[in-house]
Structure 1
Amino acid sequence: MKVLITGATGFIGGHLVPRLLEDGHELIVMSRSQAKAQQQFGSAVRVITHLDQIQSDEQLDGIINLAGAGIADKRWNDARKKVLIDSRLEITGGLVSLIKRLEHKPEVMISGSAIGYYGCRDDDLLLSEEGEMVDDYTHALCQRWESEALQAQEEHVRVCVIRTGIVLGQGGALAKMLPPFRLGLGGPVADGQQWMSWIHLQDELEIIAMLLTHEQFSGAYNLTAPEAVTSATFSHQLAKALSRPAWFRVPAFVLQLMLGEGSDLLVKGQRVYPLRLLDAGYQFVYPQLRDALQQVVNTRD
Structure 2
Amino acid sequence: MRVLIAGSSGLLGSALVATLRDSGHDVRRLVRRPARAADEHSWDPPAGRIDDRAFEDVTTVVNLCGSPMGLRWSAARKQMIRDSRIEPTEVLAEAVAEYRIPTLVNASGIGYYGDTGDTVVTETAPRGQGFLAELCEAWEAATAPATEAGSRVVNLRTGLVLSKEGLLGPLKPLFWLGLGGKLGDGKQYMPWISLRDHVSAMRFLIEHETLSGPVNVCNPEPATNAEFTRAMGHVLRRPAPWWAPGFALRAALGEVADEMALISQRAVPAVLEKAGFTFVHTDLEGALAVAL
TM range (shorter): over 0.9
Cα distance 1:44–1:53, how it changes in 2: closer, same or farther (>3 A)?
closer
Q: Distance in 2 between matches of 1:166 and 1:204?
A: 10
- Percent of aligned pairs sharing the same letter: 35
Among candidates 100, 105, 115, match of residue 110 of structure 2: 115
Amino acid at match of 1:84: I
Q: Does 1:101 align with 2:98?
A: yes
Aligned to 2:88: 91
Change (3 A) 1:100 1:133: closer
CA 184–3 in structure 1, closer or farther in 2 if over 3 Å, else same: same
Question: For structure 1, which runs of at least 5 residues remain unmatched after alignment?
Answer: none
| TM-score, normalised by the number of residues in structure 2 | 0.92
Give me the TM-score of the superposition, normalised by structure 1: 0.89
Match of 1:219 in 2: 213
3-state SS, counterpart of residue 27 of structure 1 = strand
- Structure 2 match to 1:28: 28
Gaps of 5+ in 2: none
The residue aligned with 1:60 is: 58
Assess if the C-alpha contact under 8 Å between 1:200 and 1:292 holds in 2: yes
User: Which one of the candidate residues 222, 230, 250 is aligned to 1:228?
Assistant: 222
Distance 2:121 2:230 in 1: 24
**More deviation, 179-188/21-30:** 21-30
Give the CA deviation at 1:250: 2.4
Aligned residue pairs total 287
For residue 246 of structure 2, the aligned residue among 252, 265, 269 is 252
Other structure's SS at 1:113 match? strand
Equivalent-residue separation in structure 2 for 1:288 and 1:56 (angstroms): 40
Per the TM alignment, residue 47 of structure 1 is displaced from its structure 2 partner at its CA by 4.2
Shift of the alpha carbon at 1:235?
A: 0.4
The alpha-carbon distance between structure 1 residues 56 and 11, as it changes in their structure 2 partners (threshold 3 A), is closer
Q: Is residue 171 from structure 1 mapped to residue 135 from structure 2 by the alignment? A: no
CA deviation after TM superposition for structure 1 residue 154, in Å:
1.2
Does the 8 Å contact 2:72/2:254 carry over to 1?
A: yes
Q: 1:140 aligns with which of 124, 134, 137?
A: 134
What RMSD over aligned residues (CA atoms) do the two structures have, in Å?
A: 1.9
Report the counterpart of residue 12 of structure 2 in structure 1.
Answer: 12
Deviations 1:24-65 (A, max 9, x none): 222221233568xx6xxxx57324243421248722211000
Cα distance between partner residues in 2 of 1:147 and 1:245: 44
CA–CA distance in structure 1, aligned partners of residues 282 and 235 of structure 2: 16
Task: Report what 1:182 is aligned to.
Answer: 176
> In the alignment, is the contact (CA less than 8 A) between 1:27 and 1:46 conserved in 2?
no
- Cα distance in structure 1, aligned partners of 2:249 and 2:109: 21
| Alpha-carbon offset, residue 225 of structure 1 | 0.4
1:135 CA drift (Å): 2.2
1:79 aligns with 2:72: no
2:277 & 2:14 partners in 1: Cα distance? 23
Verify the 8 A CA contact 2:60 2:104 in the aligned structure 1: yes
1 or 2, which has the higher strand percentage?
2
CA positional deviation for 1:151? 3.1
